[in-house]
A and B are shown apart, each in its own frame.
Chain A
Amino acid sequence: GESVGLHLPTLSVQEGDNSIINCAYSNSASDYFIWYKQESGKGPQFIIDIRSNMDKRQGQRVTVLLNKTVKHLSLQIAATQPGDSAVYFCAEIAQGAQKLVFGQGTRLTINP
């Protein structure tokens, strides 16, 4: 069935380093992918999205890469800051659908 999962449940990085959070998906019909950030005690916040007709999209300090061949999605955060500490979720929407399928989440912690 459809599923979206994450390779690692936790990730710890040094402040100032780059972070890479990975996500695997199984539904080849998915054509829209989103990364959300959830800080403690808050709802998920949209970070960046990508359509299946793209393989890379950049935002402010974040980049999402999509590899449709191996059904892999990654979120890269440049120069990680303490404010980046959160749980990051990937989510997908299948073509023609309007519901998101969420992965389990990766907790990113920043070491000073």
Chain B
Amino acid sequence: DAEITQSPRHKITETGRQVTLACHQTWNHNNMFWYRQDLGHGLRLIHYSYGVHDTNKGEVSDGYSVSRSNTEDLPLTLESAASSQTSVYFCASSRGSSEQYFGPGTRLTVT
């Protein structure tokens, strides 16, 4: 069955470290998205991609970057982790203007 996976599921890192969160989907979807979810803010879009080599900034992109070298993966990198980036991160994918399928999430703690 097609799915979308994220790794790691939990991560603790120190301020200033570079961190990469993985997202892998086997739906063969062109569109992939990264969100963060904090209490009281719902889901906020960080970066998204509409296809290989395409990346776009979302509403909270500062301090994050993504790259899309193939259809299946959209890794999210925190260049220099900050405590404000402690959050739960969700990856999602979709085909065109349709519903998005979400991964299980990665809980990141920056100490």
Contacts and interface: CB of A to CB of B under 8 A. Distances in A.
Contact of B100 (A41, A42, A96, A100): A100
A52 B39 CA distance: 30
Q: Looking at A44, A96, A97, which has the most chain B CB atoms within 10 Å of its CB? A: A44
Interface string B1-44: 00000000000000000000000000000010100000011110
B96 A43 contact: no
B85 interface: no
Interface string A90-102: 0001001111101
A104 B43 CA distance: 7
B101 interface: yes
Chain A contact surface mostly: loop
B35 to A, nearest CB: 8
Interface band, chain B: 20 to 34
A36 B40 CA distance: 17
Contacts of A102: 42-43
Interface string B83-94: 000000010101
B90 A43 contact: yes
Contacts of B100: 46, 100
Interface band, chain A: 20 to 34
B33 A44 contact: no
B45 interface: yes
A103 B94 CA distance: 19
Given A99-B45, A105-B42, A43 B105 contact: yes
Given A46-B101, A104-B40, 12 more contacts: A32-B98, A36-B102, A41-B105, A43-B92, A46-B99, A89-B43, A97-B97, A98-B94, A99-B45, A102-B43, A103-B42, A104-B42
12 contacts: A34-B99, A41-B105, A43-B92, A43-B103, A44-B90, A45-B102, A97-B97, A98-B97, A99-B33, A100-B33, A102-B42, A105-B42
Interface of B: 31, 33, 40-43, 45, 48, 50, 58, 90, 92, 94, 96-105
